[in-house]
Amino acid sequence: MDLIKDGWFMETNSLWPGMAMCLKVDEILAHVKSPYQDILVFKSTNHGNVLVLDGIIQFTEADEFSYHETMSHVSMNSHPAPRKVLIVGGGDGGVAREVLKHPEVEEVILCEIDEKVVEVCKKHFPSLTSSAFSNPKLKIIFADGLEFIRKNTNRFDVIITDSSDNVGVATPLFGEEYYKLMKSALATGGVACSQGECFWLHSEFIAKMVTLCRDIFPVVDFAVCSMPTYPSGEQGFLLCSLDPKTDFKIPVRKWGAKEVAEYNLRYYNSSVHSAALAPPEWFRSVLHGDHN
């Protein structure tokens, strides 16, 4: 795969046909093949260091906080007491960094399949990894996420699946079996949040996932955040709750100026939380199943 040409990294994929994100490369910092995927880290001229897995940008240092804060705080602040948290994927440490800001948290298990991702991110993304990976509440397990949750029942208050896209190594994390296993691994009233692709590009796929989840969980919703270096500039998150009373639009704990300062937030606050759950009209009909 020729990822870099004339000093530009170009991200093309059949998941976003007819478009490409290009970032100008300053320096290649790492390029290794793990047993699972091709891992590239480069320093870009304008967006900081960039993590690329199998040719797909996972994040840039310039906008990672949008993805990681939304995924973590929308799910965590939708649960009344999130003490035990499982992160599946997320070997870059971004979600762990955010989840560990919640004072209620007692234990976080990060289950990452690819040890090499953790190793590379420790070296090149200290702003994501350093606080989280030195926190005694965090335990990293190198294992297949689906196999790990299969062995756990009634254990976690929140499960966050921070996977790469629905191709290659992450595909099982988008299937019915995985969602049923998550339901069993969640404790009473548990909340699950998964990387949910992009509503501009994958609305049919999202509608299918929402239907699948509604057969398993009493409450299902979808949040979005702005991600300027992702195709179409948006990222979605699929949210499920075992508690029929959960309303994802209304955070259980309100985070305003005090928490923004205390937790060094750059994207999330309670207004952003509710806005993330307010779909545009055309997508609302997709979510409610009355699309053609």
Nearer to ligand SPM, 67 or 174 (CB): 67
Closest CA relative to residue 76, chosen from 98, 50, 51, 91: 98
Residue 241 interacts with ligand SPM (CB under 6 A)?
A: no
Nearer to ligand SPM, 112 or 246 (CB): 112
Pick one of 69, 165, 221, 259: the residue that binds ligand SPM (CB under 6 A). Answer: 165
| Candidate ranges 88-96, 147-155, 262-270, 277-285; the one touching ligand SPM (CB under 6 A) | 88-96
| Candidate ranges 55-63, 101-109, 245-253, 280-288; the one touching ligand SPM (CB under 6 A) | 55-63
| Candidate ranges 22-30, 142-150, 211-219, 229-237; the one touching ligand SPM (CB under 6 A) | 229-237
Residue nearest to ligand SPM (CB): 57
Nearer to ligand SPM, 53 or 219 (CB): 53
Backbone angles phi, psi at 287, to 5 degrees: -65, -35
Alpha-carbon span 119 to 17, nearest angstrom: 32
Amino acid of residue 29: L
Alpha-carbon span 138 to 132, nearest angstrom: 7
Q: What does the CA dihedral 146, 152, 158, 163 come to, rounded to 10 degrees?
A: -10
Nearer to ligand SPM, 228 or 256 (CB): 228
Residue 63 interacts with ligand SPM (CB under 6 A)?
A: no
| Candidate ranges 27-35, 107-115, 227-235, 237-245; the one touching ligand SPM (CB under 6 A) | 227-235
Q: What is the DSSP letter of 45?
A: S
Categorise residue 229: left if φ over 0, alpha if ψ from -120 to 50, beta otherwise.
alpha
CB within 8 A of 235, min separation 6: which ones? Answer: 66, 67, 70, 195, 196, 197, 198, 224, 225, 226, 227
Backbone angles phi, psi at 242, to 5 degrees: -85, -15
Residues 108-147 that bind ligand SPM (CB under 6 A): none
Nearer to ligand SPM, 128 or 219 (CB): 128
Alpha-carbon span 199 to 234, nearest angstrom: 8
Residue 37 interacts with ligand SPM (CB under 6 A)?
A: no
Residue 98 interacts with ligand SPM (CB under 6 A)?
A: no
Residue 250 CB, nearest distance to ligand SPM (Å)?
26
Pairing mode of beta strands 138-142, 156-162: unpaired
Alpha-carbon span 57 to 76, nearest angstrom: 25
Looking at the DSSP bridge assignments, the partners of residue 22 are 10
Residue 258 CB, nearest distance to ligand SPM (Å)?
27
Catalytic residue list:
162
Residues near ligand SPM, by CB under 6 A: 11, 56-59, 67, 90, 92, 94, 162, 164-165, 195, 230-231, 235
